[in-house]
Amino acid sequence: MKALSLTQPWATLVALGAKRIETRGWKTSYRGPLAIAAAKAFPVDCRDLCDEEPFRSVLRAHGFGAGIGGDLPRGVVLCTTELIDCVPTEKIREASRYYSECVHEEAFGNYDDRRYGFLFGKVTHPFTPPVPARGALGLWEWESPE
């Protein structure tokens, strides 16, 4: 199965169903099942986002408490989903239907010009507990233990 590594808190937001568009500076022609991995690295600026809105309230609503950054799993596959499409961010900004299901979608991505939105379906399999995995850049191959 193809996999995509995301830095926290974005990986957890996808696994919770609160984020359905991942923005990237590159596009892909791949469509299909996709494992979402939480990268091992967790830069300080990303950790600090966990205490800012709307990140804080979404994460707390799902059981993550004070000092949220330390609670988020890293170096693991959190869930599987479906990569439905990959579209230019300019197209996403023009069509509000892309934001309809996730209230804070715009806040959870970088929709600058010349970027791409990876459109995810609903989470198809959350892993509890998460499955340890060594991530990689780009799309990479992951073998599910199940």
Residue 3 is which amino acid?
A: A
- Both tokens assigned to 113: 């010009």
- Both tokens assigned to 46: 């990303």
Tell whether 20 is covered by a domain.
yes
Give the total number of structural domains in the chain.
1
Tell whether 141 is covered by a domain.
no
List phi, psi (to 5°) of 76.
-140, 160
Distance CA 40, CA 76 (A): 8
Tell whether 143 is covered by a domain.
no
The pLDDT score that the predictor gives to residue 13 is: 96
Distance CA 40, CA 6 (A): 9
CA torsion angle 16 10 39 119 (round to 10): 80
The pLDDT score that the predictor gives to residue 135 is: 87
68: containing domain: 2-134
Determine contact, residues 68/50, Cβ cutoff 8 Å: yes
For the chain, list residues with pLDDT below 50: none
Domain with 48 in it: what CATH number?
Answer: 2.30.130.30
